Amino acid sequence: MVVPVAIYLALNAGRASVHGWGAAMSTDTAFALGLLALVGSGFPDRLRAFLLTVAVVDDIVALLVIAIAYSASISAVALVAAVGLFGCILLVRAADIHFGPVYFLLGTAVWVALFKAGVDPVVAGLLGGVIALAYPAQRSDLERASDLFRLFREQPTGDLARTARSAVRLAVSPNERLQTLWHPWTSYCIVPLFALANAGVHLSGGFLAHAYASRITLGILLGYVVGKPVGIAGSTWLAARLGRGRLRPPVGWASVAGAGTIAGIGLTVSLLIASLAFHGPELAEAKVGVLSAALLAAGLTWLLVLATRRLPRRLRIRALLGTPDLIVDLADPVDPERDHIRGPLDAPITVLEYGDFECPFCGQAEPVLRELLREHGEVAYVWRHLPLNDVHPNAQRAAEAAEAAAEQGAFWEMHDLLLEHQDALGYRQLMGYAEELGLDVDRFEDDLRTRVGAGRIAQDVDSADLSGVSGTPTFFVNSLRHYGAYDIASLSAAVKAARARELVRAPA
């Protein structure tokens, strides 16, 4: 953020317009992610997390800049009241209270207090966004929700309906609940109206000629189009250099440069700061600079994608993905001596599934995985148990039956039968499957009765918890968690990305 501000200050040094430096520094998170989605096929998935981190830090700093540098005369009493009211919101959160009207009233009070204090009240909304936490659903919360729903199923009363509905809602993080609730309004109404209301400017040939000669316009334009890419790529390179290999971007340098060009989209926050810093013709010049920077940033990103695609394949992969030694998501690595593996043990690509034999979605994924293994020869498939006992009463016994079959070298045969007959996993059916596979039925029955596989299943469940897995099926491709759909196209794309990373790793 320092580089674009420095460019603006250099162009406006000694002029009254120097105080508008804040309009040249903040990335618009929503529009930047929108552009990334538009050109996303040219960049790896992990660029989104990298760009989002940059943009969120931008938002936090912009919040402080608005509060400190672009507020009128401050009323200390009202400001203290705003801080105290925000402290009340934090206390309500700490008390695990999830009643929306309480937050609405306290948030409105904070907004009014900031307004009376002379601080732009948009800060209240930014503060509210910062404390909306995001985290994966916890197994304990999911189990509680399913237990309460089962009680409601047995006795459908109003009280149990309310309790079950509350438990289901609270199993999801506040961030995700708020996104689901407000996303259509914010994305398709509030944000566009906010941008358009702040961007209103009368355009004409004479005005544009004057604006593009203005130091305000040029300072903002160059700050975003030149300063953002240089600042992001430079600070990332500096962090990697000073970290001596311990700190690396999660993507290649072409992707880092792409994040820099995309970050040149300022729009809403920049327009807001411009409206606080300027008035009249100067404000119009600042708006032209912000809007022009957004258009040029989009164009530069598109050109960068085209240029990267023209690189030789190996060089292109390294430029986009960077080092293949990424931080992995799978807490317990695949162990050929322990894990159940289908396919070549030395395969460069490993697809691991946490599954439940009674889960219908695991059953739906099974033919997709078979097709994946047929289409991609050098892929190994690993199954780990995650029986969801709170919703699937036969899942634990089915998993133990698979382990009992594994004692006789028939894990995958039993695995296939169990997923083929998910609606028939009772004790007698399991014994029938053992007989069908030609196993020693007496030994199988004894192993099933003494639960010889329970310890191994518990280890799989523990490894799932450590990896943040709470539902089935959940997939990992070369220890990186696969998000989104598990159709053949999505899993094939994940396998191809993993193969590209392995190509970078391989010696030339």
Report the candidate in 463, 486, 461, 457 with the shortest Cα–Cα distance to residue 473. Answer: 486
Residues of the chain with CATH 1.20.1530.10: 1-71+204-323
Question: CA torsion angle for 466, 472, 473, 476 (degrees, to 10)?
Answer: -10
pLDDT tens per residue across span 117-168: 888 787 888 788 778 888 878 878 888 888 888 888 888 898 889 899 888 8
Report the candidate in 240, 243, 247 with the shortest Cα–Cα distance to residue 327. Answer: 247
Q: What is the mean pLDDT of residues 395-417?
A: 96
* CATH, domain range 340-505: 3.40.30.10
> Model-level pTM?
0.68
- 141 contacts: CB under 8 Å, gap ≥ 6: 167, 170, 171
For 212, phi then psi, to 5°, come to: -75, -5
- The SS3 of residue 130 is helix
The token duo for 39 is 């050109």
Report for 155-164, 412-421, 467-476: range of highest mean pLDDT: 412-421
Locate tokens 């989002």: which residue?
Answer: 52
Judge contact between 384 and 462, C-beta under 8 A: no
Residues of the chain with CATH 3.40.30.10: 340-505
pLDDT tens per residue across span 303-345: 999 999 888 877 888 888 776 556 678 989 999 999 999 998 8
pLDDT tens per residue across span 165-191: 888 888 888 888 888 888 778 777 877
What pLDDT is recorded for position 77? 92
Judge contact between 324 and 317, C-beta under 8 A: no
pLDDT tens per residue across span 64-101: 888 788 876 788 899 899 999 999 999 998 887 878 89
Judge contact between 24 and 266, C-beta under 8 A: yes
Per DSSP, the residues of 336-360 read TTTSEEES-TT-SEEEEEEE-TT-H
Fold of 1-71+204-323: Na+/H+ antiporter like fold (1.20.1530)
